Structure 1
Amino acid sequence: MRISVDPERCYGSGDCAYRVPAVFTVVDGFGAVQPGREDAGDDPAVREAVEGCPSQAITLAE
Structure 2
Amino acid sequence: MWLSVDPERCYGSGDCAYRVPSVFRVVDGFGAVVPGREDGGGDPKVREAVEGCPSQAITVTE
Fold shared by both chains (TM-score > 0.5): yes
Distance apart, 1:40 and its partner CA: 1.2
Query: Residue type of the partner of 1:7?
Result: P
User: Equivalent residue for 1:36?
Assistant: 36
RMSD, aligned CA = 1.1
Tell me the matched-pair count.
62
User: Equivalent residue for 1:4?
Assistant: 4
Instruction: Give yes or no for contact 1:23–1:34 (8 Å, CA) kept in 2.
Output: yes
Identity across the alignment (%): 84
Instruction: Please list every run of 5 or more consecutive structure 1 residues that lacks an aligned counterpart in the other structure.
Output: none
Instruction: Please list every run of 5 or more consecutive structure 2 residues that lacks an aligned counterpart in the other structure.
Output: none
Query: Residue type of the partner of 1:21?
Result: P
Normalised to the residue count of structure 1, the TM-score between the two structures is 0.94
Distance apart, 1:44 and its partner CA: 1.6
User: Structure 1 residues 51-60 or 32-41, which shifts more?
Assistant: 32-41
Structure 2 residue matching 1:31: 3-state secondary structure: strand
